[in-house]
Amino acid sequence: MIQSTLTPRTAAITASYSGLGFELSRLLLADGFRLVCIDRSSAKSDKARQTLLSEFPEADIVSVTADMASATSIGQAAGRILADLDKLDVLFHVAGAATAKKQFSPAGIELHFEVNTLGPIALTKALKPALSASGSAVVVAVGSSAMKLAKTLKVADLVNPTTFKKMSGPYAQSKLAITTAFAAMSETYKEEGILLRVVDPGPSRTSMSASNAMPWVVRRIQRFFPLPVVGARKIFSAGLSEKFGTETGVYIERDAIAKLPATAIDPNIRIALMKLIAECVQTETGTAS
Model confidence over 40-64: pLDDT tens digits? 999 999 999 999 999 999 999 999 9
Interhelix angle 19-30/42-55, rounded to 10 degrees, is 40
Model confidence over 129-142: pLDDT tens digits? 999 999 999 999 99
CATH number of the domain enclosing 87:
3.40.50.720
Tell me the Ramachandran region of residue 222: left when phi exceeds 0, alpha when psi lies from -120 to 50, beta otherwise: alpha
* pLDDT, mean of residues 244-266: 96
Residue 128 lies inside a defined structural domain of this protein: yes
Residue 2 lies inside a defined structural domain of this protein: no
More confident residue, 15 or 288: 15
Total domain count, the chain: 1
Tell me the Ramachandran region of residue 190: left when phi exceeds 0, alpha when psi lies from -120 to 50, beta otherwise: alpha
Distance CA 189, CA 191 (A): 5
Q: How confident is the model at residue 288 (pLDDT cuts 50, 70, 90)?
A: low
pTM of the complete model: 0.95
Distance CA 284, CA 244 (A): 35
Percent of the chain topping pLDDT 70: 96
Residue 1 lies inside a defined structural domain of this protein: no
Q: What is the pLDDT of residue 282?
A: 84
Q: What is the pLDDT of residue 151?
A: 86
Residue 218 lies inside a defined structural domain of this protein: yes
Q: What are phi and psi of 247, to 5 degrees?
A: -65, 135
Residue 189 lies inside a defined structural domain of this protein: yes
Model confidence over 187-239: pLDDT tens digits? 999 999 999 999 999 999 998 888 998 988 999 999 999 999 999 999 999 99
Model confidence over 167-176: pLDDT tens digits? 999 999 999 9
Q: What is the pLDDT of residue 287?
A: 65
Residue 188 lies inside a defined structural domain of this protein: yes
Average pLDDT, the chain: 94
Q: What is the pLDDT of residue 283?
A: 81
Neighbours of 244 (CB within 10 A): 20
Residue 281 lies inside a defined structural domain of this protein: yes
Percent of the chain topping pLDDT 90: 91
| Domain housing 208 | 10-285
Q: How confident is the model at residue 146 (pLDDT cuts 50, 70, 90)?
A: very high
Residue 5 lies inside a defined structural domain of this protein: no
Q: What are phi and psi of 156, to 5 degrees?
A: -65, -20
